[in-house]
Amino acid sequence: MKKTYILFLAAALLIFLFALGNYIYKNQQSEKMGFLAQEEAELFVRKHSATLGSDEAKVYLVEFMDPACETCRAFSPLVKQLMAQNPGKIKLVLRYAPFHQGADYFVRLLEAAKKQGKYWETLAIMYQYQPQWASHHNPQPHLIWRFLEGSGLDLEKIREDMQDPAIDQIIEQDLSDAKRLNVSKTPGFFVNGRPLVNFGYRQLQQLIEEEIRANYPE
């Protein structure tokens, strides 16, 4: 009889320890992420990062992207749509994670275009013609130029600015931040520091809507 007690007591104790461990672990995890978002906000938004949207926006959508990544291209219209639906509430921050071989060439091009104030226009052209210059995940630098001709960019200047070593530092910084934030695939999204855990359009929309609700109480 006494032994039966020992068995049940041990079982109850183990289950209790399991539940306690579960509780402690989950608490720790959420604290860790909250801490990251506040204390180390610059991991997500660097001074050099290209941003779109109002400075007053309270919801920061940080996207680690690769100009040659097809999924980043596919997400671009959705991100625009979400920003249009919530005017002034979302700020888009682009970070680079040029994981495709040769994709850093296009990051350079974007950064050079930024100096001429045509960053987002150039990105739009890149995405639009991505199937032609990066078919089968194989970015080919020479193919992009003819698509840029009608864009009003000073292409001569672009070729020159692309050599700027400051761009190397930007890429390096972004890649190291991507690594610290565990971004191993593109696009990698964070909404106010919260990672998009389950990947998908609807999930991103939900995460953004949650943050909008939290930051803009009605």
Partner 1 sequence: MSRSPDLAGTEWTILFLCWLLASISTLGSLFFSETMQFAPCVLCWYQRIFLFPLVLVFGTGLLFHDPKVVRYGVPITMAGWLIALYHNLLYTGIIPENIQPCTQGVSCTEEYIELLGFLSIPMLSFLSFTMILILLSILKRRLSR
In the bound state with partner 1, the residue whose beta carbon lies nearer, of 101 and 132, is 101
Cβ distance to partner 1 smaller for residue 148 or 181:
181
Question: 199 — alpha (psi -120 to 50), left (phi > 0) or beta?
Answer: beta
Greatest CA span in the chain, whole angstroms? 90
Residue 6 interacts with partner 1 (CB under 8 A): yes or no: yes
Distance CA 218, CA 208 (A): 16
Residue selected from 9, 20, 26, 214 as contacting partner 1 according to rule CB under 8 A: 26
22 is a contact residue toward partner 1 (CB under 8 A): yes
Both tokens of 44, joined, read 């997500």
Query: Would you say 14 or 41 has its CB closer to partner 1?
Result: 14
Q: Which two tokens stand for residue 119?
A: 């960053």
Candidate ranges 6-14, 53-61, 95-103, 128-136; the one touching partner 1 (CB under 8 A): 6-14
| 2-10, 38-46, 57-65, 93-101 -> range binding partner 1 (CB under 8 A) | 2-10
SS3 content of the chain, % helix, strand, coil (to 5): 60, 10, 30
Contact yes or no for 102/141 (Cβ under 8 A): yes
- Which residues are near partner 1 by CB under 8 A? 3-4, 6-7, 10-11, 14-15, 17-18, 21-22, 25-26
